Amino acid sequence: MSTPSRSGQLTALSMSALALLLEGPRHPYEMFQIMMSRREDVIVKLRAGTLYHSVGRLADGGLVRAIGTERDGNRPERTTYEITPAGREALRGAVAERLAVPAREYPIFPVALAEIHALPAEEAIDRLRTRLDAVREDVRMLETGREAALGRGTPPIHLLDLDYLITQRRGEIDWLMRVIDRIGTPELAWSPHSGATGFDQKAQL
C-alpha cells in the first residue's frame, strides 16, 4: 500500500488531520470532535473510522508519530500523535499548491446543465427551483454552523472554509434565480430538435 509521503498524495482528510496536529498533539477521537465542532464535515467526508485509518496511513508514511497511549476507564486505549518535520513540510506543500492551483474536479451539476434541454422547459424550471430551495437551506445550515463554532470560541481563521462555501452558495442562488427567469425567453429558447417540449415550441403552435 502506498503512503502519503509527498504533499501531492495527501487527501483532503489527511490535510485536515495534519493541520490539527500542527496545533498540538492529539488522539484521533479528539481530532474527530474538533473537526465536527468546526463543521469540517461539510468540506471532507468525515467518519471516525476513516479518520483513524487516515492517521494510521500518515504514521506509516512518517508524517506523524505516536507519542503515547492512555486509557480512560473501560474505554479502548487512545494513542496520541504528533506531526513530524516531514509532515509539516508535506502539509505546507499541499496547502500552498491547492491554494494557488484550481483543481479540475468535474462536478456533475455542470454536466446536467449542459444537457438541460433534454427536459421540457417547465420541468427544468421546476427542478431548478427545487435546487434553489435546497441551496438556500444549505446556506442557512452553513451560517448556523459558523455562528455556533464562533460561539464555542473557534478562531475565525479556522472558519474561512465556511465563509467561502457560504459566499459560493449565495452566488449560486443569484445565478439560479437569473437562469430560471431566462428560461423560455428568446435568449434561452428550447431547441425544436431537443426532443423536449419547451416554451419556444408552444410559441410556434
Distances 89 to 29, 92, 101, 166, 172 between C-alpha atoms, Å? 24, 5, 18, 30, 36
CA distances from 119 to 115, 123, 173, 204 (A): 8, 6, 21, 18
State the DSSP H helix or E strand holding residue 24, giving kind and residue range, or none if neither.
Answer: none
Per-residue pLDDT of the chain (205 residues; tens, 9 = 90+): 444 445 457 999 999 999 999 999 999 999 999 999 888 888 999 999 999 999 999 999 999 999 998 877 667 788 999 999 999 999 999 999 999 998 888 999 999 999 999 999 999 999 999 999 999 999 999 999 999 999 999 999 999 999 999 999 999 999 999 999 999 888 888 865 555 554 544 343 3
pTM of the model: 0.79
